[in-house]
Amino acid sequence: MQGAAGKKDTTEVYVYVGKAGAVNLDRGIEKSVWGWKTETAEEREHHEVLTSLKKGDLLHLGHLGLGRIPGPEAQSRTVARLVTTRLTGGLYEDGSHVWDDEVYPYRVPLTVEGTRYDVTKDDIGPEAIEALRKSASGKGGPKLPENRESVLEQLLNEAIEAHKGTTLLDPEDPADQRNLDLPPVLDRPAYVYARAEQKRLRAEKLEGRTEVPCDLCQMVLPTRLVHTAHIKRRSASSPQERGDLGNVMNACVLGCDSLFEHGFVYVDVDGYIHASEQVRTDALTTAVERLGGSCSAFSQKNAHYFAWHRENIANVKKR
Percent of the chain clearing pLDDT 90 (strictly above): 57
Q: Counting Cβ atoms within 10 Å, is residue 251 exposed (0-12), middle (13-18) or buried (19+)?
A: buried
Decide if pLDDT at 179 tops 60: no
The pLDDT of residue 203: 81
Residue 233 confidence (pLDDT) above 80? yes
Q: For residue 177, is pLDDT > 70?
A: no
| Helix, strand, coil % in the chain, rounded to nearest 5 | 35, 25, 45
What is the value of pTM for the model shown?
A: 0.51
Q: Provide the β-strand partners of residue 17.
A: 63
pLDDT classification of 160: cutoffs 50, 70, 90: low
How does pLDDT run across 89-146, given as a tens digit for each residue? 999 999 999 999 999 999 999 999 999 999 998 889 889 999 999 999 999 999 999 8
Quick count: other Cβ atoms within 10 Å of Cβ 83?
Answer: 22
pLDDT at 162: 58
pLDDT band at 306 (very low <50, low <70, confident <90, very high): very high
DSSP state of 147: P
Angle in degrees, CA 244, 245, 247, rounded to 5: 70
Closest CA to 175 of 191, 189, 192: 192
Per-residue pLDDT, 34: 97
DSSP letter string, 259-294: HHHTTSEEE-TTSBEEE-TT--SHHHHHHHHTS-SB
Measured CA distances, 221 to 169, 217, 295 (Å): 21, 11, 16
Per-residue pLDDT tens over the stretch 8-17: 588 999 999 9
Q: Which of 110, 146, 114 is nearest to 1 (CA)?
A: 146
pLDDT digits (tens, 9 = 90+) for 20-62: 899 999 999 999 999 999 999 999 999 999 999 999 999 999 9
Domains of the chain: 12-146 (3.10.590), 147-194 (no CATH), 197-312 (no CATH)
